[in-house]
Amino acid sequence: MDELKEALLSSEARPTEQAAQLIKSSNYCIALTGAGISVESGIPTFRGYQGLWQKYDPLEYAHIKSFIKNPEKIWKVMYELDEIMQKARPNPAHFALSELEGKGYIKAIITQNVDNLHQAAGSRSVIEFHGNAKRLICLDCGKIYQREEIDRSVLVPRCKCNGLLKPDVVFFGESIPEEALNSANQEVNACDLMLTIGTSAEVVPANILPWEAKRSGAKIIEVNLERTNLTDEITDIFLKGSASQILTILLKEIG
């Protein structure tokens, strides 16, 4: 057991108090967020019993090859999901992270979410690891459109060049945008503390980031309703609970 874990176990402070102390004493704290942080904004997760992948087979609905083969079928689902995302508003967890950035405690957020809720909550340093659903990209010429520019009555939106438009999010079979990957790696190398919030840490390469951070000496605070494959391996402080509940407490403890 490393020194920090031993000290934490023998400490009488509550885990949120310990986590707040760690955040306050860190030099460079970043957050890695996943679908769990947006649940309380009304957006379902991917895995788990009410997750999207229970309803839609990811290989059938979220693979780039399926999209190209049958864009109409996939766009139908994309429109449905986009309706949910457009109605969603940031919850206290998003606002807490934004406030922590304002106070200088959080230097960057790497998010796997495509819902734009960190940005809507006022966070400025956000790395969109899996893209952003408010944009669309032409698969032929690469032109970017905002979702408002698209006529939603059209079954399959097309670019002015007639290329197929796809939500600007990373489908299975596609690479992480290079700029996002590079920025994420830079942040991971720079951090001495990483908060992982609401992610199952099951999808590569995002799930490698906490391991990389740990390898380069950072501490890991994990916020989740349940334990993940990080918890017993690299997590220093596990805060069990909903993201908004825990982040609200942390914000208060930090003061």
Question: What is the nearest approach in angstroms of ligand OAD to the Cβ of residue 17?
Answer: 19
CA pseudo-torsion sign 194, 245, 19, 2: negative
Q: What angle do CA 249, 42, 164 make, to 5 degrees?
A: 130
Q: Which residues bind ligand OAD (CB under 6 A)?
A: 34-36, 39-40, 45-48, 51, 62, 112, 130, 170, 198-200, 202-203, 223-226, 228, 242-243
Nearest to 29 by CA among 228, 218, 255, 254: 218
Distance separating alpha carbons of residues 240 and 198, to the nearest angstrom: 10
Decide whether 57 or 202 has the Cβ nearer to ligand OAD.
202
CA pseudo-torsion sign 195, 200, 202, 204: negative
Decide whether 11 or 30 has the Cβ nearer to ligand OAD.
30
Decide whether 192 or 231 has the Cβ nearer to ligand OAD.
231
> Cβ distance 46 to 111 under 8 Å?
no
Of 63, 94, 118, 130, catalytic: 130
Decide whether 18 or 228 has the Cβ nearer to ligand OAD.
228
Question: What is the nearest approach in angstroms of ligand OAD to the Cβ of residue 161?
Answer: 26
Question: What is the nearest approach in angstroms of ligand OAD to the Cβ of residue 247?
Answer: 9
Which residue do the tokens 């000496």 mark? 217
* β-bridge pairing 106-111 and 29-33: parallel
- Which H helix or E strand runs over 166? strand 165-169
> Does 118 participate in catalysis according to the annotation?
no
Nearest to 83 by CA among 147, 39, 146: 147
Distance separating alpha carbons of residues 218 and 193, to the nearest angstrom: 5
Decide whether 28 or 63 has the Cβ nearer to ligand OAD.
63
Question: What is the nearest approach in angstroms of ligand OAD to the Cβ of residue 160?
Answer: 27
% helix / strand / coil in the chain, to the nearest 5? 45, 20, 40
Q: For residue 208, give both structure tokens.
A: 């490698």
Q: Which residue is nearest to ligand OAD (CB)?
A: 36
Question: What is the nearest approach in angstroms of ligand OAD to the Cβ of residue 33?
Answer: 8
Question: What is the nearest approach in angstroms of ligand OAD to the Cβ of residue 153?
Answer: 26
Q: For residue 33, give both structure tokens.
A: 């967020």
Decide whether 164 or 225 has the Cβ nearer to ligand OAD.
225
Catalytic sites, residue numbers: 130
